[in-house]
Amino acid sequence: MKSSSSSRDNIRIIINEKYFITSTHNLVILNTEYHDEKIYFAIIENIFVGGTKQSSDFRLQINRRKIPLSETIPEFIIKPTDQLATIGDAIKSFECVANAGPGNAIEIIWQKNAILIDQTTGRFHIGPYNRTLEVRGITADDQGIYSCHIRIKNSDNFINASAKLIVRGVPIISTNFPLIQNVDLQENIVFTCDGTPISTNFNVTWYKNAILLTNESSKIQLIDNKLIINTIEWNDQGMYQCFLTNDVGEDTRSTWLKIKSTQKKQDFL
């Protein structure tokens, strides 16, 4: 699906200094004047099967009690908003639109983590009139704070707004699990299942011999990302698994808990 905007005099609207069409297909008209009083509508086209549909009419009326805009400081119309991305996403975009008095040229600068965006890598694209920033081919390193800084050209007065790009990926367990974990009887043991910094919003679950472990007794304690087994007994031997899961995927590690004691089980009965 795609859309375009038109006015009742059948002039198709294109993005320029006066008009901006957002990613959600809203029409922004900047520096409105009396001759902008028209009826506007959108045309929606199905690019897969063909056919078009026209939206309802929107009538623009200009307030005659005009409040003049500042001649030195622009005014935000659209600020960038927080974005959630998954590693491998094709594009995530930010929008930043401001208004200024007639005849005032606006300058928009984009930064990531307070550093000017470098377009030479090909992974960042700044759109017409610098109103949009696209981050392409999302990687973990793209996470950060993106900000737009706006001023009227030749002015020292900037306004700025920022938004976060949060990048999610399949959680990755960073803890090293030994193939075999040797312990003595009556010892306590703590297993930890940590995730890498990019592993966010994950759940931790523990299994013994493919059976889910729960906090049903003081023998087994599940605290945050830790599994604590108190007072090791013979029947605690087995395979222990940790699963880190989120809505993107999962990672797992396992270890075999083995009793080091050479005494036979009946010696402890």
Q: Work out how many domains the chain is built from and give that number.
A: 3
Based on the domain organization, do 105 and 126 belong to the same domain? yes
Q: Please check whether residue 175 lies inside any domain of the structure.
A: no
Q: Given a cut of 80, is residue 69 above it in pLDDT?
A: no
Q: Would residue 84 count as lying in a domain?
A: yes
Q: Establish if 221 belongs to a structural domain.
A: yes
pLDDT value for 269: 45
Calculate the average pLDDT of the chain.
89
Per-residue pLDDT, 65: 63
The reply to whether 64 falls in a domain is no
Strands 220-223, 180-183: pairing is unpaired
Q: Are residues 51 and 85 in the same domain?
A: no
Give the least confident one: 10-14, 63-67, 209-213, 261-265. 261-265
Which is more confidently placed, 229 or 157? 229
The arithmetic mean of pLDDT across residues 43-57, rounded, is 85
pLDDT of 10 above 80: no
Q: For residue 3, what pLDDT band results from cuts at 50, 70 and 90? A: low
Which pLDDT belongs to residue 176?
92
Q: Does 86 lie in the same domain as 131?
A: yes
Residues 16 and 83 in one domain: no
pLDDT at 268: 43
pLDDT at residue 63, rounded to an integer: 83
pLDDT of residue 217: 80
Q: In terms of residue numbers, what domain contains 13?
A: 2-59
pLDDT above 90 (res 92) = yes
Instruction: Give residue 247's pLDDT band: very low, low, confident or very high (50, 70, 90).
Output: confident
Residue 209 has pLDDT above 80, yes or no: yes
pLDDT score, position 89:
93
Of 135, 168, 201, the one marking the end of a domain is 168
